Amino acid sequence: MGSIGRPRKFYRSIYTKSKAKYSRGEIIVKVVSGLFYKYLLSSFLFSCIGALFTNPQGYSRLDLLIGPIMYGSMLFVDFKGYSDLSFGITKLLGIEPTRNFNYPFVSTSLKEFWSRWHISLSSWLRDYIYIPLGGNRKGKVRTYINLVIVMLVSGIWHGAGLTFVFWGLWHGVAIVFEKVVSLVKIKKSFIIKTIGYVFTGVIVNVGWIFFASMNVNIAKCYINTLLNPTVVVDRNISVSLILVIAVVYLLSFAGSKFQTFLIKMVDKLSLFVQILVFFLCICVILNLGPDLVPPFIYFTF
């Protein structure tokens, strides 16, 4: 699933004589980055999940605790990989791409999270659901109801199952709670931002349990097993898994600046060296990656 572009902007970018400007370094870094995220990180995390969200009773408490973090990390790198590849190829065709992903794991609030995760969907829901319902123009209670409705629609957009309905309601209620708490004027500080970051992380990761489970009964079983596990031996936990998740979160905080740095460095190279670097990176990624690569997860939504 790609960005939800507006027709006016799309057709204007096609028929305009001035095409989107780009540098070779930008295209090289975006394409290599997309393959790195998707072919290496996403494929590895996909292989680790196994039957975690279909048979949670077969896993330990630690497995189940790290499960949503692992699933969320997989969605992040899968979506990020697709976004980077799409960005690079779209610009190469001379079309200005719609930004659709902006490192949501750095968010210190759910409002910020949804302004960074699937940006085009969030803006579409705002323009075509939230604002027509009245937005925040009809009082606080109506605003809260509108927010819950918007997130419910977001859940149904991802899938018609009750798990997606619950996932949407979960986020909607949490956003309302966050908005009510924000009415209390508290000076922003490192501690407050940390609390906001932890709150956002907990809400998002608990939500992934329902998002990833095939039905509500499995989601309930997951939570019950997490509270009362029957398996002691960890099946999923490994040094490799912890390192990959650490890399994902490190890239969440430093990835944007690192990409900008790489683009500047590659732009300084000659065309021959740029081509050499590009093919060398592709060869390394292909050699390190798996034989079978899972499809982009967001293609199913």
Q: Is the torsion defined by CA of 57, 241, 109, 189 positive or negative? A: positive
Residue with tokens 């050499």: 276
SS3 (DSSP) at 74: helix
Q: How far apart are alpha carbons 101 and 115 in whole angstroms?
A: 9
Maximum CA extent, the chain: 65
Q: How far apart are alpha carbons 180 and 235 in whole angstroms?
A: 41
Q: How far apart are alpha carbons 139 and 202 in whole angstroms?
A: 29
The burial of 184, by beta-carbon neighbours within 10 Å (0-12 exposed, 13-18 middle, 19 or more buried), is given as exposed
Return the number of other C-beta atoms located less than 10 Å from residue 74's C-beta: 26
Active site residue 118: no
Q: Identify any residues that bridge with 101 across adjacent strands, giving them in sequence order.
A: 117
How many residues in total does the chain contain?
A: 301
Q: How far apart are alpha carbons 126 and 164 in whole angstroms?
A: 19
| Residue 221 structure tokens | 């079983």
Q: Is the torsion defined by CA of 179, 100, 160, 212 positive or negative? A: negative
Q: How far apart are alpha carbons 292 and 300 in whole angstroms?
A: 18
Q: Which of 91, 116, 118, 158 is catalytic?
A: 158
DSSP state of 38: I
In Å, what is the CA distance from 251 to each residue of 163, 216, 217, 243, 281?
30, 33, 35, 12, 18
Report, as residue numbers or ranges, the catalytic residues.
158
